Amino acid sequence: MMKTRNEMKKNAFFIKVKKCCCSCTHKDLTRAVGSRWCEKHDKAVKPGGCCKCWRMSRQLQMAGFARGRVKRVEYLLYLAAVREDESLAEQAGMELLPKSIEEIRAAFEQQFGGIYEEL
């Protein structure tokens, strides 16, 4: 039986997570908006629903674990400008191979330094 009350659960890093289908490890990632697929029960369920089999997803278990890095705004703008130039060239009928992320990153680093914020 599905519960619908708004229970919260804290992960190991004291981040509150709503206990519902969308935070459960058993959900299947689909494009459906009105319902989700539960792999445990093999059926469609409402996104806000919750059952006794709920387990916090791995991603939410790790929320708050500071091991990531933040990219510089300048790099993100540079990347967006490169992709926009490629798109405009394609619209103009020019044959231009898109640059790989590695190529764009190397060009940025050569001109401006690292892509990550110094913390």
26-67 tens-digit pLDDT: 888 666 667 788 888 888 888 778 888 999 998 899 888 877
Task: Please indicate whether residue 17 or residue 48 has the higher confidence score (pLDDT).
Answer: 17
Quick one: tokens of 78?
């540079």
Q: Is 50 exposed, middle or buried (0-12, 13-18, 19+ CB in 10 A)?
A: buried
Is the pLDDT confidence value at 76 over 70? yes
Percentage of the residues of the chain whose pLDDT score is greater than 70: 91
* Among 61, 81, 101, residue at a domain's last position: 61
In a domain, 1, yes or no: no
Quick one: tokens of 2?
């599905």
- Give yes or no: residues 78 and 57 share one domain: no
Residues 6+ apart with CB under 8 A from 113: none
Which residue range is the domain that position 108 belongs to? 73-112
- Give yes or no: residues 18 and 47 share one domain: yes
- Give yes or no: residues 55 and 90 share one domain: no
- Give yes or no: residues 47 and 81 share one domain: no
Is the pLDDT confidence value at 103 over 90? yes
> In the prediction, which pLDDT does 1 show?
43
Number of domains into which the chain is organized: 2
